[in-house]
Structure 1
């Protein structure tokens, strides 16, 4: 909501930087109209059972402050927990792999926003990111439907980037028929041994 309101040039109604003028000021009516507009955006984003707790507050700033007081404890710990829970329990359940991956990627992007790494050393940051990417590949694979068991069994032979390409390019068609040419190109680009791909069923190149 903060992003949506900010892109409409109304963030000041949440922060208070666009202060309420006195009732005798010529700008009071215009301010009231815009305040009600922003207040409406906030209220409309709530479930019916929450609306009653905030709808009688006069200004959008008061609503924003009350919501933060009730639901935000000064950290993102509860949100990070919920995002991690969703990521670890998300399953493909017959959906196209591309849709399943897109849902998972949205959770990961939100986690990166709420829980960024804070490290002074660039090498440590890179090492952490590689470890995190590996974990997320494992989460992705664990949620795939049973027909992808072969990929899981050959996990040690496939790079992280190739695995993620599966989800981007594949839409529940026979995966090796669709991706064999692409995988051969990626094996050269990412230094994945071609023999390892062959063991997954990708044909060896001729010549």
Structure 2
């Protein structure tokens, strides 16, 4: 029998007792952090639990009546993470105390926004990509996917809003 607290937690998860629903089709495998982190963030934000990622919600004192709820929700989000990773990757994240620690460790371990070889690989794919037998929609979707991957490598800081607009136009022209 499910307790009222378990029913509340299960309703937040979107499942029922005994069901394990994947939160994303992108399991973190060590090579797909940008896609995984974006899909996990969408899910966690959609469930209203993104404050656990950012650390805006911190653990109350153990004596505080809110501690039990914080602990249950923190563990729930942590389980979402582990279940969205391959077994090999997930084993490395089993013993963190908070969602924020887990999220930061995953980013530190697998995020490499300056991975030059990956950047060159994506640009090479885009350079060689031809529509061929693909429909216009298929071709555009593949282009867009690779453009979004390139965009993840860009972490520019602009002196003026005009600089950002000029850069956007350069990127747009390059893509055309």
Return the alpha-carbon distance in structure 2 between the equivalents of residues 17 and 124 of structure 1.
30
Contact 2:122 2:150 survives alignment (8 Å): no
Instruction: Look up the match of 1:136.
Output: 175
| Structure 1 unmatched ranges of 5 or more | 138-207
Return the alpha-carbon distance in structure 2 between the equivalents of residues 94 and 51 of structure 1.
39
Give yes or no for the alignment of 1:122 onto 2:162: yes
Give yes or no for the alignment of 1:44 onto 2:83: yes
- TM score, norm. by length of structure 2: 0.59
Give yes or no for the alignment of 1:14 onto 2:36: no
Contact 2:119 2:153 survives alignment (8 Å): no
Q: 1:14-53, CA deviations, whole angstroms, 9 ceiling, x for partnerless residues? A: 2222111233321222112111111122112212210111
- TM score, norm. by length of structure 1: 0.52
Return the alpha-carbon distance in structure 2 between the equivalents of residues 71 and 38 of structure 1.
19
Cα offset, 1:63, TM superposition? 0.8
Return the alpha-carbon distance in structure 2 between the equivalents of residues 89 and 8 of structure 1.
36
SS at match of 2:71: helix
Give yes or no for the alignment of 1:5 onto 2:44: yes
Name the larger-Rg structure.
Answer: 1
Give yes or no for the alignment of 1:89 onto 2:129: no
Query: 1:1-207 residue pairs with structure 2 within 5 A?
Result: 1-72=40-111, 76-78=113-115, 82=118, 85-89=121-125, 91=129, 92=131, 94-112=133-151, 114-115=153-154, 118=158, 120=160, 122=162, 125-126=165-166, 128-137=167-176
Return the alpha-carbon distance in structure 2 between the equivalents of residues 121 and 68 of structure 1.
29
CA root-mean-square deviation: 3.0
Return the alpha-carbon distance in structure 1 between the equivalents of residues 79 and 164 of structure 2.
46
Contact 2:60 2:70 survives alignment (8 Å): yes
Q: How many residues align?
A: 133
Q: Which has the higher helix share?
A: 1
Return the alpha-carbon distance in structure 2 between the equivalents of residues 28 and 112 of structure 1.
40
Contact 1:54 1:63 survives alignment (8 Å): yes
